[in-house]
């Protein structure tokens, strides 16, 4: 039933080492206690801010170790399950070739029950030029196309519109660029033998991950989430929908009023509502569809902004801790997932501490810099080792750098949520130019301002302190923060057409009889080839 998976799926194979997880939490607690109580306090405001950031880190570390402590182990499964399925392929202006590959792959899926494939065409309401082409594609393939004429609710609205027009017991959702494997349905649908199973989520695999820095980094970030984190959440009954490559029970979704249209991250919030009503979920850690990562910095930025804003709205408008229908494990898991996006504020505060010292001489704590090193360095190294080990070495420096450099994006999203400012929902564009990298430097102006501020601060600090140990330590910290922003800035900066060099070939995946042809998968999976 399951094809052998190659090493490119090794992110699914993490085996948590609990000794390291316990050690990580212990080191984090000790570091927190030492910072708070063992050292002489400096500037009270800075000290308070430092402690607040360390509390945030501690909660995130404890939450992470708790989440990845163990994977989901076993669920009821009926291999002969044959409930009727509507396959929804959401389309909003993607190239017709991309949509065609996905639709053909969906039609080729094997399943003992009834399957209807539908194109959910939002091209018309989104003002996309190719919406008629999508309808023609549906005609040519003999599948239904639901073209909305009344806008609203973005992708959630599109799905809800199709829910009203269809009647299958179950719904499977694919983004237009996520090509399902032939065995998707037979591998997934059997979980619905549990009558309270509300939805099944599978990984969101990026087949174009080797195209450029942005796709590589976006994928590296996904590996951590779809590797240990989602498996752990599934164990705790808190696996949530991720918008694509998922199967839903119609009655469950309808019970909560369809996909939530009020939130920019409709999948996250709808999951919360389903869990609140007692529906179960499972995450199946097996790549059963292959899609496209955002392939330039703008698309990546928009995607991250959307996720951030949606998650923060959940905290401020639907605080999971206050949702009485959720178990405590679910409450904390939702809060941990959403609060990750508050880290922007924490990161910029940490980054500003050396700048403040260089400008004013004020520090949050007063201690020998080497004593601080003795406490901090082992804690930091162990933390990173746990991250690396729990992701089965699929995480990367650029993934960390992108996460840590997204502070402005996260602050902007936080501001938008707190002020209720509207932001346009933008479906990630999959267009790939055949030239160089476009210029997106305007998106990283805050990072460049930080670098400039750091240089000025260094001058001020050097004039005041000379080459003191404190100056050296803070200069080193400043260098660390600047270095972290380098991959982010590089990805945003323009370059000439190096991308004309073909991407390294993906490892071959065994093709079963009846599976979509390799050409179809390849065309669907690699944006740059779509345009040739």
Partner 1 sequence: MTAVLDTPPPTVRVRPARPGRHAAADPGRWVPVAAHALAVVGVLAWSQLAFIGRSTRLDEAQSLWQTNHSYGRLLELIAQDVHVPLYHLVLRTWRLVLGPDIGTARALSLVFLLASLPVFYVVARSVLSRGWASAALVVFANSPFLLWYGNEARMYSMLLLVTLLSQWAFLAVLRTGRAAAWTGYAASAVVGAYVHYFFFFVLLAQGLFLLAVSRRLPRGSVLRLAGTAAAVAAAFLPWFLYFRAQGSASETRPQLPSPSSVDFSNVYSQFVFGFQSDALNTTLVSAWPLLVLGALLSVRNGSRLGRPTAYLLVAAFVPVLTAFVVSHLVTPFFLSRYMVPAAPALLLLVVVFATTLGPRTSRVLVGVLLAVTVAGTAVQATSPDNPVEEDYRTAATLAGEAGPRDVVVVSSPFTIYPFEYYYDGPARVTTLPEWDRVEAAPPFDAATLPEEAEALVDGHQYVYLVLSYDQGYQDDVYQYFAGRYEQVAAHEPSDGLQVLVYRVGYAEPVPLGG
For partner 1, the binding residues (CB under 8 A) are 2, 4-7, 9-10, 12-13, 70-79, 190-191, 216, 220, 231, 234, 282-286, 368-371, 373-374, 376-377, 380-381, 384-385, 387-389, 393-397, 399-401, 467, 469-470, 472-473, 475-477, 479-480, 483-484, 507
Instruction: Output 441 or 490, the one with its CB closest to partner 1.
Output: 490
Beta carbon nearer to partner 1, 13 or 140: 13
Write down the residue that tokens 């400008």 correspond to. Answer: 359
Q: Which is nearer to partner 1, 13 or 136 (CB)?
A: 13
CB of residue 290 vs partner 1: minimum separation in angstroms? 15
Q: Which is nearer to partner 1, 265 or 404 (CB)?
A: 404
Residues 6+ apart with CB under 8 A from 416: 309, 423
CA distance 306 to 17: 33
CB of 422 to partner 1, least distance (A): 36
Compare residues 88 and 226 and give the one whose CB is closer to partner 1.
Answer: 226
Rounded to the nearest whole angstrom, what is the least distance from the CB of residue 7 to partner 1 in the complex? 5
For the bound state, the minimum distance from the C-beta of residue 448 to partner 1, rounded and expressed in Å, comes to 19
* Opening angle at CA 254, ends 253 and 257, nearest 5: 95
Q: Please, which residue, 7 or 129, has the CB nearer to partner 1?
A: 7
Nearest-angstrom CA–CA distance, 354 and 377: 17
Q: C-alpha dihedral over 274, 277, 279, 280, to 10 degrees? A: 80
Shortest Å, Cβ 404 to partner 1? 9
List of residues 6+ apart from 388 with CB closer than 8 A = 395
Answer whether 454's CB lies under 8 Å from 478's CB.
yes
- Other CB atoms within 10 Å distance of the CB of residue 439: 12
Q: Which is nearer to partner 1, 81 or 307 (CB)?
A: 81
State how far the Cα of 132 lies from the Cα of 147, in Å rounded to an integer: 9
For partner 1, give the closer residue by CB, 283 or 341. Answer: 283
* Cβ neighbour number for residue 299 with a 10 Å cutoff: 23
Q: Smallest gap, in angstroms, from Cβ of residue 311 to partner 1?
A: 24
Query: Quick one: how far is CA 384 from the chain centroid?
Result: 19
In whole angstroms, the minimum distance from the beta carbon of 369 to partner 1 comes to 6
Cα 359 to Cα 362, 366, 483: the distances in Å are: 8, 17, 20
CB 384, min distance to partner 1, A: 5
Rg (the chain; Cα; Å): 24
Residues 11 and 212: their CA atoms lie apart, in Å, by 20
Query: Cα separation of 245 and 232, whole Å?
Result: 19
Nearer to partner 1 among residue 3 and residue 59 (C-beta): 3
Report how far residue 457's alpha carbon sits from residue 247's, in angstroms, rounded to the nearest whole number: 53
Nearer to partner 1, 355 or 417 (CB): 355
Closest CA to 54 of 365, 323, 432, 398: 365
**Kind of pairing between the strands at 170-175 and 246-249:** antiparallel
In the complex, the smallest distance separating the C-beta of residue 461 from partner 1, rounded to whole angstroms, is: 13
CB environment 36-56: b (16+ within 10 A), e (fewer):
eeebebbbeebbebbbebbeb
Least separation in angstroms between CB 19 and partner 1: 8
* CB nearer partner 1, residue 15 or residue 424: 15
- Nearest-CA neighbor of 177 among 437, 518, 427? 427
Both tokens assigned to 92: 């909003």
**Contact between 435 and 499 (Cβ < 8 Å):** yes
Q: How far is the CB of 136 from partner 1 (least distance, A)?
A: 38
Asked if 63 and 24 touch (Cβ cutoff 8 Å), the reply is no
């Amino acid at each position: 039933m399951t094809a052998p998976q190659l090493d490119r799926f090794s992110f699914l194979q993490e085996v948590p080492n609990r000794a390291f997880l316990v050690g990580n939490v212990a080191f984090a607690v000790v570091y927190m206690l030492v910072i708070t109580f063992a050292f002489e306090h400096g500037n009270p405001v800075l000290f308070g801010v430092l402690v607040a950031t360390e509390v945030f880190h501690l909660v995130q570390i404890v939450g992470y170790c708790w989440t990845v402590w163990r994977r989901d182990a076993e669920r009821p499964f009926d291999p002969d399950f044959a409930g009727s399925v509507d396959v929804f392929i959401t389309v909003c202006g993607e190239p017709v070739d991309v949509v065609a590959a996905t639709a053909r792959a969906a039609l080729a899926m094997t399943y003992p029950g009834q399957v209807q494939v539908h194109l959910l065409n939002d091209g018309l309401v989104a003002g996309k030029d190719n919406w008629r082409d999508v309808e023609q594609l549906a005609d040519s393939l003999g599948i239904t196309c639901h073209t909305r004429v009344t806008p609203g609710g973005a992708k959630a609205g599109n799905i809800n519109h199709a829910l009203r027009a269809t009647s299958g017991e179950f719904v499977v959702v694919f983004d237009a660029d996520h090509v399902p494997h032939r065995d998707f349905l037979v591998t997934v649908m059997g979980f619905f033998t549990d009558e309270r199973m509300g939805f099944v989520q599978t990984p969101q695999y990026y087949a174009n991950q080797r195209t450029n820095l942005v796709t590589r980094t976006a994928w590296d970030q996904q590996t951590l989430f779809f590797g240990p984190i989602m498996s752990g959440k599934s164990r705790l009954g808190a696996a949530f929908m991720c918008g694509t490559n998922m199967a839903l029970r119609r009655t469950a979704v309808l019970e909560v009023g369809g996909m939530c249209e009020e939130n920019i991250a409709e999948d996250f919030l709808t999951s919360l509502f389903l869990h609140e009503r007692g529906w179960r979920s499972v995450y199946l850690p097996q790549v059963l569809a292959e899609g496209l990562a955002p392939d330039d910095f703008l698309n990546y930025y928009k995607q991250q902004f959307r996720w951030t804003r949606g998650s923060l709205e959940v905290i401020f408008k639907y605080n999971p801790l206050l949702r009485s229908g959720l178990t405590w494990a679910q409450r904390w898991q939702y809060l941990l997932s959403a609060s990750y996006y508050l880290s922007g504020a924490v990161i910029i505060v940490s980054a500003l501490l050396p700048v403040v010292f260089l400008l004013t001489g004020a520090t949050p704590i007063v201690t020998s810099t080497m004593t601080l090193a003795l406490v901090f360095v082992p804690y930091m190294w162990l933390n990173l080792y746990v991250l690396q080990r729990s992701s089965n070495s699929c995480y990367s420096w650029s993934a960390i750098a992108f996460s840590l450099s997204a502070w402005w994006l996260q602050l902007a999203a936080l501001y938008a949520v707190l002020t209720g400012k509207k932001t346009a929902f933008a479906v990630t564009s999959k267009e790939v130019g055949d030239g160089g990298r476009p210029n997106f430097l305007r998106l990283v102006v805050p990072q460049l301002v930080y670098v400039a501020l750091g240089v000025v601060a260094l001058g001020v600090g050097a004039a005041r302190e000379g080459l003191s140990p404190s100056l050296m330590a803070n200069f080193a910290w400043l260098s660390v923060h600047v270095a972290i922003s380098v991959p982010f800035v590089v990805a945003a900066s323009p370059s000439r057409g190096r991308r004309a060099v073909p991407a390294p070939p993906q490892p071959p995946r065994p093709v079963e009889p009846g599976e979509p042809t390799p050409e179809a998968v390849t065309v669907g999976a690699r944006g740059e080839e779509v345009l040739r």
